[in-house]
Amino acid sequence: MKKLNKSVIALLIVMTILSFTNFLNIKINGEVLKLAGISVIVGIIAYFTTRKTNEVITSGLDIKKCFSSFKDVKVIFLSIIPVLLQILCLIIAKRFFPEYIEHVSNRTNFINTSEMITTILILAIAALGEEIAWRAFFQKQTTKIIKFIPSLIITSVLFSLGHFNFNKPLIVIYDLIFIFIDSIFYGLVFKKTDNAWCSWISHFFANAICIFMM
């Protein structure tokens, strides 16, 4: 295990704290202020300002090696699972938890599904930002001080909590469980490839399937 410098530790702590802020239910003009999203901005800045702490400057985000990584069948398999899980999640929800659809719509109300190109761009940018922040920075840095499995679980828990939105407990739990499981697979893809571009592809298609199926 390695030692992290103080700035990296401070940034990890800031992201952790921000992940819990949606529970505060702060409202401005009746709209809930979702501060947890700032954790992604912090994580992106943290990744690019701390890359020198990695063994290789492109470690964690190497677009040149992205497509070659998908020559590995395991990477393809791990990447497809979140997409299939989103389909399963929505099929179950439409049958047993119809309120879930509205819940996700409220959580993603920044997306205008009437404009397909705009929606795709927003989904792509949002997913890439989250993968840089939570996989290329948070997961990668924490695996330097703790074992991979605890790092994966902690990262996924915080990632899930950052998507918290108030609703009926059952709907919220259902939502967070699927986000957590998806995050586990994004983390496994990243572990296998050391490349947020790879986990981003899985993340983007999973999100796109969810939005367009709704």
Q: What pLDDT does 197 receive?
A: 98
- Using pLDDT thresholds of 50, 70 and 90, give the confidence band for residue 39: very high
Asked if residue 116 is part of any domain, the answer here is yes
Tokens representing 106 are 């409220």
3-state SS assignment for residue 195 = strand
Q: What pLDDT does 60 receive?
A: 92
CB atoms within 10 A of CB 107: 18
Which residues on adjacent β-strands are paired with residue 27? 32
- How many Å apart are CA 62 and CA 85, to the nearest integer? 27
Asked if residue 171 is part of any domain, the answer here is yes
Q: What pLDDT does 38 receive?
A: 95
Asked if residue 1 is part of any domain, the answer here is no
Higher pLDDT among residues 22 and 83, named by residue: 83
DSSP letter at 5 equals P
Specify the amino acid at residue 118.
T
- How many Å apart are CA 103 and CA 105, to the nearest integer? 5
Per residue in 43-94, pLDDT tens? 999 999 998 877 788 889 999 999 999 999 999 999 999 999 999 999 999 9
Per residue in 87-118, pLDDT tens? 999 999 999 999 999 999 888 776 666 688 88
Per residue in 102-161, pLDDT tens? 999 888 776 666 688 888 999 999 999 999 999 999 999 999 999 999 999 999 999 999
Q: Domain residues for 97?
A: 6-213
Q: What pLDDT does 134 receive?
A: 98
List phi, psi (to 5°) of 162: -65, -15
Mean pLDDT of 186-190: 98
- How many Å apart are CA 208 and CA 172, to the nearest integer? 20
Asked if residue 19 is part of any domain, the answer here is yes
Tally the domains of the chain. 1
Asked if residue 93 is part of any domain, the answer here is yes
Which H or E run includes 28? strand 27-28
- How many Å apart are CA 182 and CA 168, to the nearest integer? 22
Alpha helices (H) along the chain: 6-19, 38-49, 66-69, 73-96, 99-107, 116-130, 140-142, 148-161, 169-193, 196-213
Asked if residue 70 is part of any domain, the answer here is yes
Can you tell me which residue has the tokens 């709704």?
A: 214
Tokens representing 5 are 């410098």
Tokens representing 13 are 């702590």
Asked if residue 23 is part of any domain, the answer here is yes
Asked if residue 168 is part of any domain, the answer here is yes
- Using pLDDT thresholds of 50, 70 and 90, give the confidence band for residue 30: low
Tokens representing 49 are 């300002």
Which residues on adjacent β-strands are paired with residue 47? none
On the question of pLDDT at 2 being above 80, the answer is no
